[in-house]
Amino acid sequence: MAALKAAALVLLGLNLGCAAAAVPLVIWHGMGDSCCNPQSMGYIKKIVEKRIPGIYVLSLKIGSNLIQDMENSFFMNANDQVREVCSQLAGDPHLKGGYNAMGFSQGGQFLRAVAQRCPSPPMLNLISVGGQHQGSVYGFPRCPGESSHLCDWIRRTLDLGAYTQAVQEHLVQAEYWHDPLREEDYRKNSIFLSDINQERGINETYKKNLMALKKFVMVKFLNDTMVDPPISEWFGFYRPGQAKETIPLQETSLYTEDRLGLQQMDKAGKLVFLGVKGDHLHFTEEWFDTTLLPFLQ
């Protein structure tokens, strides 16, 4: 009887240990949003914490307050943002054993940069919800900032000088502005996206680090009016030299030359392509529960 009780206590301890060992989650908001908006990231954080008891959820804040966090999503150099986040993650004791990551809109591609540049602590799974992995261009139709005047100014700035040094250094959206009719300008002058997409050369460390992911999940919104072209959310883009016909990831040179390891990841079953009806970042709680939460458990 004593032996049975001891065995039962061991099993109970193991079960309790498993229950307490939920993999931490890091989330990064998109343009014009903040870490703790109760209608966006705050809402997502509560859903995850309710569905996965005991999980540690870190919603990234860039700046000392929510206003700075929102403003930095427009005006803080993306490379500096990634560097700041890498520092936050490295200093968080909850994450030392590894974490899952979920990025929304530009937060998805920024977290991919974290995976490529900062392997410690290790990112286990990356979920990109509407992230523009081949960039976005010709649109910016629904800038979500508080001021329409600000949005209009950003549109004019991008149209006139997206690839000038001053704009690249200080306007986040210019740093993933990908003009298919100005590919050479993009490759030479994009200070963020062309780097993490290996447009100017192969950084083997980037490739190795990204390939270490267990799963790279990409969500595309099938009726997206924010990202142009929407297939960028699945790593596709316009066929070279024009801006009408799009091609999937598998037909891009990024894939055929396997500059980022995506071909190997695809063949290993590590890439997951999900489509959801609706406009940019429009999804239901039921869809989130049934489709994305399984990647966190």
Q: Is 105 a catalytic residue?
A: yes
Distance CA 278, CA 2 (A): 59
Q: Which of 29, 133, 178, 280 is catalytic?
A: 280
Q: Which of 105, 128, 136, 232 is catalytic?
A: 105
Q: Is 224 a catalytic residue?
A: yes
Q: Which of 69, 224, 228, 266 is catalytic?
A: 224
Catalytic residues: 105, 224, 280
